[in-house]
Amino acid sequence: LAQLFRPLDLLGMVYRTIRQGAIDMASMFELIDTPPEVTDAAGAPALLVGRGHVRFENVRFGYEAERPILKGLDLDIPAGSTVAVVGSSGAGKSTLARLLYRFYDVDGGRITIDGQDVRAVTQASLRAAIGIVPQDTVLFNETIGYNIAYGREGAGEAEVARAAEGAAIAGFIARQPDGYATRVGERGLKLSGGEKQRVAIARTLLKDPPILILDEATSALDSRTEADILATLEAVERGRTTIVIAHRLSTVVGADRIVVLDEGRVAEMGSHAELLRRDGLYAAMWARQAAERDAALAAA
Ligand code: ATP
């Protein structure tokens, strides 16, 4: 009987592996979806990054011609500063990040980094300048050390350890039986959402890019983990131009500059306190989320 079941087991394993692969690919391609029409211009030079001043100038874009998503968006992000982008679901927050990374080209207007149009430089140099901490980190069925070192080709053990330290995951790794050689994934160590995010942060620290995109996890981490990760991220953001794509408002309260996207444009901009005083879209979103939180608490 056992022999009869072995092939089925194997089939099950193959199926699970493929399915897992498909899920990983799906989450990766949510952001990393390079359409073939985006190519380097002939003789394009490499991006010369200074401090990383990012500008969106009158940017127009739609995935389909008949459905514009961004309708003349202006956003100036001074070098080294952080902006948090908020807006209703589908407002185009992640689209901003995809355009900056040039997964797609704008239909009108332009995006510049230190004065250079992202379409005029090589994609390789553009992408080397931008680090992304995604919502869902793709981990390989490999060692945890490999998963961190993936941030930069040729990174040495000491650098990997330093990055893990900076991402506050070194202690967790030290507690694993095989340390950095501990395997993760399907058949190895399962990492929590917060731990996976720390691996992504460590990868980004290794890459050391002047520009950072943080695509905040949509599913709530427990509040202590969330506070710990926010503190770690604050240290990573220092000195880098950072765009935080915020799907929940609770995490942007401390941001200096919050940008509210609506109808394909920047509708409001300011700190949390300023935007509450303004009593506009942000204040309404805040009131709605507070009411939802209270209702959830009351139901618990
Ligand atoms: P959320 O907070 O829900 O993640 P978001 O503000 O980040 O939303 P985007 O992911 O930027 O929203 O999407 C903006 C709009 O573009 C949505 O209506 C979405 O359905 C659409 N869209 C996103 N990606 C594609 C695509 N590859 N093809 C067609 N439409 C897309």
What DSSP line would sit under 26-84, residue for residue? HHHHHH----TT--PPTTPPPP--SS--EEEEEEEE-SBTTB-SEEEEEEEE-TT-EEE
The atom number, within ligand 1, closest to the CA of 62 reads: 16
The pLDDT of residue 46 is 96
Q: Does ipTM exceed 0.90?
A: yes
Quickly count: other Cβ atoms within 10 Å of residue 207's Cβ: 20
Give the pLDDT of the chain (300 residues) as one tens digit per residue: 444 444 455 454 444 444 444 444 444 445 555 555 688 988 999 999 999 999 999 999 999 989 999 999 999 999 999 999 999 988 999 999 999 999 999 999 999 999 999 999 999 999 999 998 888 888 889 999 999 998 888 888 999 999 999 999 999 999 999 999 999 987 778 888 888 889 999 999 999 999 999 988 666 567 777 778 888 888 888 889 999 999 888 778 878 899 999 999 999 999 999 999 999 999 999 999 888 878 888 887
The atom number, within ligand 1, closest to the CA of 98 reads: 11
Q: Whose CA is nearest to atom 18 of ligand 1?
A: 90
| Most ligand 1 atoms within 8 A of CB, residue of 69, 104, 265, 289 to mutate | 69
Tell me how far the alpha carbon of residue 151 lies from the centroid of ligand 1, in angstroms. 26
Q: Whose CA is nearest to atom 26 of ligand 1?
A: 63
The atom number, within ligand 1, closest to the CA of 89 reads: 3
Tell me how far the alpha carbon of residue 95 lies from the centroid of ligand 1, in angstroms. 6
The pLDDT of residue 87 is 93
Tell me how far the alpha carbon of residue 62 lies from the centroid of ligand 1, in angstroms. 10
C-alpha to C-alpha distance for 50 and 183, rounded to whole angstroms: 38
Q: Whose CA is nearest to atom 12 of ligand 1?
A: 90
| Most ligand 1 atoms within 8 A of CB, residue of 94, 103, 215, 281 to mutate | 94
The pLDDT of residue 298 is 84
| Most ligand 1 atoms within 8 A of CB, residue of 29, 60, 63, 261 to mutate | 63
The atom number, within ligand 1, closest to the CA of 261 reads: 6
Tell me how far the alpha carbon of residue 90 lies from the centroid of ligand 1, in angstroms. 5
Tell me how far the alpha carbon of residue 165 lies from the centroid of ligand 1, in angstroms. 34
The pLDDT of residue 187 is 74
The pLDDT of residue 145 is 95
Q: First and final CA of the chain: distance in angstroms?
A: 48
What DSSP line would sit under 154-185, residue for residue? T--HHHHHHHHHHTT-HHHHHTSTTGGG-BBS
Ligand 1 pocket, Cβ-based, cut-off 6 angstroms? 63, 69, 87, 89-95, 247
